[in-house]
Chains A and B, each alone.
Chain A
Amino acid sequence: MSTGNAVGGEPPLYRPPVSLTWWLRNPSYLLFVLRELSCVFIAWFVVYLLMLVYAVSSGRAAYQEFLDLSANPLVVILNVIALAFVVLHAVTWFGLAPKAMVLRLGALRVPPTVILAAHYGAWLVVSAIVAWVILR
């Protein structure tokens, strides 16, 4: 995510050229790039969500058109791929949380596994509430 340069002016250093396919050299580089690409599918989700809201607020017929569109095989394939990327985002995001957050209770540091478990617990609770609201 971060780049080496300070803001304002390139340092006069020699920078060996990096090939465009550097991320194919190593599985962990590939995972990094896939994780970063998850943002494209998050943007697609925002578009899809707004299409749904627009259709629902336009009336019954428009909602049925949205349901028909969402059942189009190409849209289903796109959404299955998007779901895989979004889950990759969630898992890697929660995986980083114990490293990014250092919580202390008095002199004791909250163990990283507890922070990780709390995030997964929150994910479960939020998902259950959303599913309950939508499905009744």
Chain B
Amino acid sequence: MTTKRSPEPFVWLLFSSGGMVTALLVPVLLFLFGVAFPLGLLPAPDHAYLASVVSHPITLLVLFGLCVLALFHWAHRFRYTLYDGLQLKKYSVPITIFCYGGAVVGSIIAAIVLLRAL
């Protein structure tokens, strides 16, 4: 008899790392670029400076890690939100494919966009 291993610990690890990285990085980034600059609370950085920051390999590596882990964090949590919140456990196969498949596709798009900025 073979033991069927559950992928649950692996996806939970991605969920958990994503939860930590997003909790540390997303509030400040969203505050600056989503609220403070648009409302004029702080002056937005000029293009030449921001382009030099964004094209730096370390920035791109951090942003790629953030995007991938944030997407897998979304995938795992959203999957259970649909199961529990909307009582959709019976559709678990399409939900699982949609969530983790979405995270994989999103990660590929993130890699393309970030490599373009290098």
Enumerate chain A interface residues (CB-CB to B < 8 A).
1-3, 7-8, 18, 20, 23, 33, 36-40, 42-43, 45-46, 48-50, 52-54, 56-57, 59-60, 63-64, 67, 70-71, 75-76, 79-80, 82-83, 86-87, 89-90, 93-94, 122-123, 126-127, 130-131, 133-136
Q: Contacting B45 at CB < 8 Å: which of A2, A94, A136?
A: A136
Would you call A45 and B30 a contact (CB within 8 A)? Answer: yes
CB pair A79 B45 closer than 8 Å: no
Number of chain B residues whose Cβ lies closer than 8 Å to a Cβ of chain A? 56
Contact across chains for B30 and A79 when beta carbons are under 8 A apart: yes
Chain A residues lying within 8 Å of B31, measured Cβ to Cβ, are: 83
B66-101 CB mask vs A (1 if < 8 Å, else 0) is 110011011001101101111101000000000000
Interface of B is mostly: helix
Contacts A46-B106, A53-B54 given; indicate if A39 touches B74 (C-beta within 8 A): yes
Q: A-B pairs with CB below 8 Å: how many?
A: 164
Among A18, A36, A75, A134, point to the contact of B38 (Cβ < 8 A): A75
* A93, chain B: closest CB distance, angstroms: 4
Residues of B within 8 A of A (CB): 4, 6, 8, 19-20, 22-35, 37-39, 42, 44-45, 47, 49-51, 53-55, 63, 66-67, 70-71, 73-74, 77-78, 80-81, 83-87, 89, 106, 109-110, 113-114, 116-117
The binding surface of chain A is classed by DSSP as helix
Q: Which of B20, B35, B66, B117 contacts A57 (CB 8 A)?
A: B117
Among B6, B80, B86, point to the contact of A7 (Cβ < 8 A).
B6
Contact of B47 with A60 in the complex, beta carbons under 8 Å: yes
- Determine if A86 and B116 form an interchain contact, defined as CB atoms under 8 angstroms apart: no
Q: What residues of B have a CB within 8 angstroms of the CB of A20 in the complex?
A: 86-87
Q: For B6, list chain A residues within 8 Å (CB).
A: 7
A42-B74, A43-B70, A48-B34 in contact; A86/B26 too (CB < 8 A)? yes
The chain B residue with its CB closest to the CB of A58 is B116
Please indicate which of the listed interface residues A7, A20, A52, A76 has the most CB atoms of chain B within 10 Å of its own CB: A52
Is A63 within 8 A of B74, CB to CB?
Answer: no
